[in-house]
Chains A and B, each alone.
Chain A
């Protein structure tokens, strides 16, 4: 999709072109988040500039969606599913509590070394292999406490 550089004449003549530029916002926020690790004021200002939007418009949109992070994030984002299927097989709460105790952080918080952020998320669509969690983009299924121990250990080694 071509982004036409906006000047007042094109946008007045073709409201669709203006709309197309705004339509890049979610994708632009993802790119900014990838680069900065999270959506800082600076990142938001840059996205707004690039897309000819106000900072308010960008912030309002970013804050609507749970996947846009307005706080700094850990290197590994551990997202524990609290979907019903995970709950029914005894996952969800115990797993959240276990990870939380192990890392010493509450859901939404990041460890002091900046390595892990714990998040509680909605259904990861791995219901047939519940309980499930995700680390960044990687899905881990049929989780047990032992599997979590190994996973976190491996991530810690990887980070060193």
Chain B
């Protein structure tokens, strides 16, 4: 390359790490994704795979492994953020036998796909992490509970498990250490609530995936009432790197109370979508503008939803919030499992909250009343508001139902279902009020509150809108100004898309 000199007007092709999308990323859990062939264990080993397991089995006692995990302060990447090492210690101290290691791969949040990518792109990292956890807590059997919607992830996991057995990383007397461990895959069957750990274990047991009260926590009484350790895919995938490089290395990345990296699935109204892994403490602004490249079409940023359907949204004023477990909660959202959905000025926040609520209430398992009935009632109120039938007392009603769901629901699904509504009400209250008092949708989205009208001076009478209107709501002769009948119009917006003269507006 030294023979090639760049001319003044030439720009060198940037390397991978120079691209704006990758420049600020630090990849720990995603370090192999897209780089190795996930179906070849040799590729994984060539990148330092299974060295951490060898190190743990030959140089460390289980207590030392737990010590390193505690010192690294890795917090559960499933969303709750409990210190993984402490969880392992609880499971280790439980006297009952046998013990189980479980991987929660029931990723169900709309807008989240990082667990799928790790399982598809680097399944061995999860297997290795689980084997290390099993050694630490004293377990010989593990389960990966994976969403059935991820057939490719399941296929790659199956291949990887078989390869690990063939190489002696799973099975009896692993690496001559007298440590035995083997893994099974359990497929879910399409129930979002199974991401809750007690529901997940009920589902592994072949029962309805309904949560039960905690305590007892799984570390004491989990799968088949035996001590069980449940972690998320990302937590296990990070484990080998922590064991290999040490707690200090991991703790040096990110912030003091949220060390390491966070993985987000960047989606929605953003220029560059996809998976990112960034050091904790990076600001939302850096993620959305520097990495994500900002909002497309010159539109204005309105809000970002973190934590998926059980999280919350943050407005533009919160863009400088550092991304870590505690700061996000303080700001009014949650870390969640890593969905990050960006919306622009064209999104109605009432409609946005209603979307998440529709999802969460449909996924309620129905076991406890606050979640089952509360979600429905809340959805009724929101539907009323977005249809323009909102009443002044509705905002109090939302707060009342939300508070009760939060206090009284059995599991996180019910407790957090009101989250998106509460966050949007907190930051975008004026939008709710506009719907209720002025009967207006400021973002011009809610169909019950908008009308389509022809701008007479722009209309050329070309008849394109009339021909394309599926409801037949537009009348008018050639070269004459057209008219949209609001009583027939279904507010689908096709006329605006097809009009070449900007002659239709929404009021």
Contacts and interface: CB of A to CB of B under 8 A. Distances in A.
Interface of A: 1, 15-16, 19, 22-27, 29-30, 60-61, 64-68, 83-85, 87-88, 121-128, 130, 134, 137
Interface in B266-292: 267-269, 273-275
Interface string B188-217: 111110000000000111111110000000
A84 B206 contact: no
A66 B362 CA distance: 11
A50 B418 CA distance: 43
A1 B365 CA distance: 29
Q: Bin the interface of chain B by size.
A: 35 or more
B111 A127 contact: yes
Nearest to A138: B151
B203 A26 contact: yes
Interface of B: 107-113, 116, 148-151, 184, 186-192, 203-210, 224, 265, 267-269, 273-275, 341, 343, 347, 355-356, 359, 363, 365
A16 B109 CA distance: 33
Contact of B206 (A26, A66, A83): A26
Nearest to A63: B208
A88 B341 contact: yes
B116 A125 contact: yes
Given A16-B224, A68-B189, A61 B206 contact: yes
Contacts of A134: 149
16 contacts: A23-B206, A24-B206, A29-B189, A64-B191, A65-B190, A66-B190, A84-B267, A84-B268, A84-B341, A87-B355, A88-B341, A122-B110, A122-B359, A122-B363, A123-B110, A137-B151
A88 B268 contact: yes
Contacts of A66: 189-191
B175 to A, nearest CB: 24
Given A88-B343, A128-B265, A26 B186 contact: yes
Contact of B149 (A88, A124, A130): A124
A80 to B, nearest CB: 13
Nearest to B205: A23
